[in-house]
Amino acid sequence: MYFNETFNLKTLYNLFVFIYPKIAWLISFKNAKAKLWLEGRKNIFEKLSIAFKNNQHKIIWMHCASLGEFEQGRPVLERIKSENPNYKILLTFFSPSGYEVRKNYTGADFIFYLPMDSASNAKQFYDIVRPSLILFVKYEFWFYYNTEAKTRNIPLLLISGIFREKQPFFKWYGSLHKKMLHCFTYFFIQNEESLELLNSIGFDKNIILSGDTRFDRVITIAQQFKSNPIIEKFIENKKVIVAGSTWLEDDEELDHYANTHLEIKFIIAPHDIDAERIEECKSLYKHSILYSQLANNELPTINQNVLIIDNMGMLSSLYKYATVCYIGGAFGEDGVHNVLEAAVYFKPVVFGPEYDEYAEAVELLDANGGYTVENVLELEKTLDILLSEGQEYDNACINAGEYVKAKAGATEKIIQYIYENRLLTN
C-alpha cells in the first residue's frame, strides 16, 4: 500500500514539475517574473559547468526560495563564509524575486537559479557542483534534490524550518513528502508547533527548536544602519509613518490618512516597483513625490508629504526614521510581510488582519509591540493614538525592540552543530 501510494504521488509530482515550466512559458508573454524565471534557466547546466570547471574548493550549497528566505539564511551563510575561507559558497534561488535582487551578492562565490527538479537534473547538478554541505532555508522541499543528497551521503540541513498542520507531511496522502523529510540530516525549527508536528510523525532525534535566524539578521541590519541625507531632508524632523511592502489593498487603507494629514510625512515602499504599481501609488497619494526625483535633485513642493520609494533594497533602513511603522500584505490573502525589520528599531508596528500564519506577527501582538487593524477606521484610530506619542506609544516601542532582542541566537545554534559534528573540515 505504501509503495503504491508513493508511486502514484511520485507520478503526480513528476507531472507537476513537467507542467510548471510550460505554464511559466504560457504566462511569460504578459508576466515579467515568469519570463525571468524561464530566461534564468536557459542553458543552466552549461553555465554551471563553466563556472565549476576549474573549481578545486569544497562547496557549501545554500538554497532559498526567494529573497525573504535568503535574508533568513544570510546570517548562517555569512558566518560560515567568514570563518571558512577555504570553502566556496553556492547560492541558488527558485524565484526571480530572489535571484534578480541578489545575483551580484558578494557573500557567495556562485549564484544561480535552481534547475527544475527531476531525477536527471538533480544527478547532473550534483555531478557538477559536488557540494560538501547543503543548507535549505525554511520550507524548500524538492524530491529529487533531497533524495540525491541522501544517496550521496551529503549532510542536508533545514534551517529556520517551519511547518503547519495543513501541509502534506501530516496528511494521510503525505508519504512522498515524508520521504523528503527523511533525507535531512538535521532540522533547525522556528517554533514549538513545528517541533510538535514533526515529533508526531516520528522525527524526534535529529531536531532542535533553534528559533528563527531572521532575528539575528535584522539585528545585524540595524547595527549596520547608515543615514540617508535624502530621506532626512524630506522628513524635516516631522512625525513619520513608514509603510513597507505595501500592496494596493494597503495603500487604499492608508491614502485617506496621508491625503488629509499633510503635517505628517509618509514614506511608502511598495512591495513591487514596476511602472503600473508606482502609478497606482501616485494616483492614490495626492501629494506625493518619487524617491528617484529627490535623488535627481528635484525639490518637493510644500504640500508633498508622501515619498514613494521606487527602488529596491532600502526598506530595512527606512524603518529607522519612522515614528510608526506599517507593514503591508495583511489586507491581502498572502498575509503580512516581515514585521521584524521594523520592530528591531524599537518602533510600534501596525498591520492588517491576515497575520495568523506568521508566528512573529502573532508574538509581536502578544508582546504588545504590534497592532492589528480590520479596516481603515481602526487603522486611523490606531495611528492617532500612536502619533500622540504618549505612554502607550513609549511602551509599544520598548516592547517591540525587546521582543526582537529576546529571540536572537538561532544562528549560533546552527553554527555550533556544524562544527561539533565536523561538517566542515579543511
**Contact in structure between 240 and 387 (CB atoms under 8 Å):** no
Backbone φ and ψ for 301, nearest 5 degrees, come out as: -75, 170
Q: Which three cell numbers stand for residue 289?
A: 513625490
- Residue with more model confidence, 1 or 146: 146
CA 351 to chain centre: 17
- Residue with more model confidence, 30 or 421: 421
Q: Which three cell numbers stand for residue 175?
A: 508519504
Please tell me the predicted confidence (pLDDT) of residue 268.
98
Report the alpha-carbon distance of residue 151 to residue 185 in Å, rounded.
12
The whole-number average pLDDT for the span 208-225 is 95
Local structure of 127: helix, strand or coil = helix
The whole-number average pLDDT for the span 30-55 is 94
Please tell me the predicted confidence (pLDDT) of residue 5.
53
**Contact in structure between 61 and 142 (CB atoms under 8 Å):** no
Please tell me the predicted confidence (pLDDT) of residue 7.
58
Local structure of 111: helix, strand or coil = strand
Please tell me the predicted confidence (pLDDT) of residue 97.
86
- Residue 3, pLDDT above cutoff 60: no
Local structure of 4: helix, strand or coil = helix
The whole-number average pLDDT for the span 176-182 is 95
Q: What is the pTM of this model?
A: 0.87
Concatenated DSSP letters for 2-37? HHHHHHHHHHHHHHHHHHHHHHHHHHTTT-HHHHHH
- Residue 1, pLDDT above cutoff 50: no
Task: Quick: pLDDT tens for 123-138.
Answer: 999 999 999 999 999 9
Local structure of 63: helix, strand or coil = strand
Report the alpha-carbon distance of residue 255 to residue 376 in Å, rounded.
10
- Residue 227, pLDDT above cutoff 60: yes
Q: How confident is the model at residue 333 (pLDDT cuts 50, 70, 90)?
A: confident
- Residue 426, pLDDT above cutoff 50: yes
The whole-number average pLDDT for the span 162-180 is 93
Please tell me the predicted confidence (pLDDT) of residue 2.
45
| Domain parsing of the chain, residue ranges | 2-211+409-420, 227-406
User: Among 13-22, 154-163, 179-188, which is the least confidently predicted range?
Assistant: 13-22
Q: Which three cell numbers stand for residue 61?
A: 550549497
Please tell me the predicted confidence (pLDDT) of residue 139.
86
79, 83, 137, 214 from 72: Cα distances, Å = 13, 19, 7, 5
For domain 2-211+409-420, give the fold. Answer: Rossmann fold (3.40.50)
Q: How confident is the model at residue 6 (pLDDT cuts 50, 70, 90)?
A: low
- What is the chain's length? 426
**Contact in structure between 311 and 290 (CB atoms under 8 Å):** no
Task: Quick: pLDDT tens for 263-277.
Answer: 999 999 999 898 999
Q: What is the mean pLDDT of the chain?
A: 94
Report the alpha-carbon distance of residue 199 to residue 206 in Å, rounded.
10
Task: Quick: pLDDT tens for 381-403.
Answer: 999 999 999 999 999 999 999 99
**Contact in structure between 330 and 336 (CB atoms under 8 Å):** yes
- Residue 21, pLDDT above cutoff 60: yes
For domain 227-406, give the fold. Answer: Rossmann fold (3.40.50)
First to last CA, the chain: 46
With pLDDT > 90 as the criterion, what percentage of the chain qualifies? 90
Q: Which three cell numbers stand for residue 9?
A: 504521488
**Contact in structure between 317 and 226 (CB atoms under 8 Å):** yes
Please tell me the predicted confidence (pLDDT) of residue 400.
98
**Element of type H or E holding 187:** strand 186-189
User: Among 6-15, 91-100, 170-179, 297-306, which is the least confidently predicted range?
Assistant: 6-15
Local structure of 186: helix, strand or coil = strand
Residue 35 has a CB neighbour count (10 Å cut-off) of 16
Report the alpha-carbon distance of residue 162 to residue 339 in Å, rounded.
17
